[in-house]
Amino acid sequence: QEFRFAEREVYIRRDPSTGDVILSRRPESWDGFLAAIQGSAVPADFLAERAQDEQPRDPLAGLE
């Protein structure tokens, strides 16, 4: 019972360096996340449209 969660849902992730599986409780609100990103610098052109022309490609290139 030491490792039981009172919640019905948990987050599951794998540590990329060790491969360990990590279970954590689901946050009750997004307040902590929103506070963390509030002070971060986001470039003015973030998610802006890119002026990038289409590149014609053969969808079957490389197939024999």
> For residue 21, what is the DSSP state?
E
User: Can you give the pLDDT at residue 8?
Assistant: 85
For residue 6, how far is the Cα from the chain centroid? 25
Q: Quick check: helix, strand or coil at residue 23?
A: strand
Domain ranges of the chain: 1-28
Q: What is the pLDDT along the chain (64 residues), one digit of tens a residue?
A: 788 888 888 899 999 999 999 999 888 888 988 888 888 888 888 888 888 888 899 989 988 7
Q: How many of the other CB atoms lie within 10 Å of CB of 18?
A: 8
How much is the pTM? Answer: 0.41
